């Protein structure tokens, strides 16, 4: 195993949906897949800044254990609906909003009158349903930015108005995080990790924004503990010496191999240097259409690249 602790490289980002993406980090020092994966997951789920509804008041309802005339759901159900409203709050102050809806039909987050400081992320989210065509609903809301989770007791103590009903608030816009660690290799370095982190958000920010914010939070925390001690970081394995770009991402077609060897690799779905160095010599020998001359040519090329 190498004596150096190489810096990681963000090898790829794959969009898997509107609010979901996977990040592949490799190669990592042995054991660092779980070290980075677990710490990133914990920060992503607990510390990313977001917004939430923290209190509300419904005209005609004095407490949560009651009903609203003309509305199908009781106040407890409306509370659950309000907790599902996703917002982005562009200020550190509490913001008061109002929702007004008249006539039969669903009452959605889009009926909330937003301001320049608040953005409604999921306007189609249903909060409650009006059954009576002559009925109306008026709800005053308080939204706030924060991090992590706030209990209903904490929200109660910080209410703007004493007659409002407090809500427990989940500020973090990250819905789910999962990670997995696999082995990888670069040249003669075989005891390396590959980390894949998949992040799903509620749409208030992109997975990449959440990923970068979590990394920045960890940097700040560890920098505060390191004091004046510094450790020189070794460049990521395979990093280019001239422009900093990773040689691992170099196309097979750009390596200067013979056409026969290059085509044999591409036909076996080996398209980059990274794909190539993850294969053992035996793996290469078993490739279709890949002979001993091609193997010698590839070995010479990797030696030339110091991989």
Average pLDDT over the chain reads 87
Give mean pLDDT, residues 32-55. Answer: 95
Reduce the DSSP state of residue 43 to 3 states and report it. helix
d(CA 30, CA 184): 10
Contact partners, residue 126, CB within 8 Å, separation at least 6: 81, 106, 107, 108
Q: Tell me what pLDDT residue 241 has.
A: 42
Alpha helices by DSSP H, listed for the chain, are 32-46, 75-83, 152-157, 207-226, 259-267, 273-277, 281-285, 292-304
Burial 219-246 (b: 16+ CB within 10 A, else e): eeeeeeeeeeeeeeeeebbbbeeeeeeb
pLDDT at 240: 46
Query: Nearest Cα to 78, choosing from 151, 32, 130, 16?
Result: 130
pLDDT, tens digit, 9 for 90 and up, residues 67-110: 899 999 999 999 999 999 999 999 999 999 999 999 999 999 99
pLDDT band for position 242 (cuts 50, 70, 90): very low
Q: At a CB cut-off of 8 Å and minimum separation 6, what does 115 contact?
A: 95, 97
**Residue 226 scores a pLDDT above 80:** yes
Q: Domains of the chain, with CATH numbers?
A: 10-48+174-226 (3.30.1360.10), 50-170 (2.170.120.12), 250-304 (1.10.150.20)
**Given a cut of 60, is residue 1 above it in pLDDT?**
no
Q: Which tens digits make up the pLDDT trace of 145-201? A: 999 999 988 888 777 777 889 999 999 999 999 999 999 877 667 788 999 999 999
- 45-62 pLDDT, tens digit each: 999 999 999 999 999 887
pTM of the predicted model, to two decimals?
0.73
């Amino acid at each position: 195993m190498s004596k150096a602790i190489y810096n990681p490289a963000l090898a790829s980002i794959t969009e898997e949906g509107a609010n979901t993406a996977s990040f592949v980090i490799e190669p990592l020092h042995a054991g660092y897949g779980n070290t980075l994966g677990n710490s990133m997951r914990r920060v992503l789920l607990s510390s990313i800044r977001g917004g939430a509804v923290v209190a509300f008041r419904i005209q005609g309802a004095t407490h949560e254990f009651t009903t609203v005339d003309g509305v199908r759901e009781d106040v407890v159900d409306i509370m659950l609906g309000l907790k599902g409203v996703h917002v982005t709050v562009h200020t550190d102050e509490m913001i008061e909003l109002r929702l007004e809806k008249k006539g039969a039909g669903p009452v959605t987050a889009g009926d909330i009158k937003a301001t320049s400081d608040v953005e409604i992320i999921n306007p189609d989210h249903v909060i409650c349903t009006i059954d009576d065509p002559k009925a109306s609903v008026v709800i005053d809301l308080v939204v706030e930015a924060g991090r992590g989770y706030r209990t209903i007791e904490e929200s109660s103590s910080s209410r703007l108005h004493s007659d409002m009903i407090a809500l427990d608030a989940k500020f973090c816009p990250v819905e789910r995080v999962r990670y997995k660690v696999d082995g990888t290799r670069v040249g003669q370095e075989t005891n390396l990790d590959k980390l894949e982190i998949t992040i799903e958000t509620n749409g208030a920010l992109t997975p990449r924004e959440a990923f970068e914010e979590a990394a920045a939070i960890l940097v700040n925390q560890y920098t505060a503990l390191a004091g004046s001690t510094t450790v020189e970081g070794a460049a990521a394995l395979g990093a280019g010496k001239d422009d900093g770009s990773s040689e691992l991402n170099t196309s097979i077609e750009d390596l200067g191999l013979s056409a026969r060897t290059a085509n044999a690799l591409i036909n076996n779905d080996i398209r980059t240097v990274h794909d190539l160095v993850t294969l053992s010599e035996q793996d290469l020998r078993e490739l279709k259409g890949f002979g001993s001359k091609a193997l010698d040519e590839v070995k010479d090329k990797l030696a030339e690249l110091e991989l």
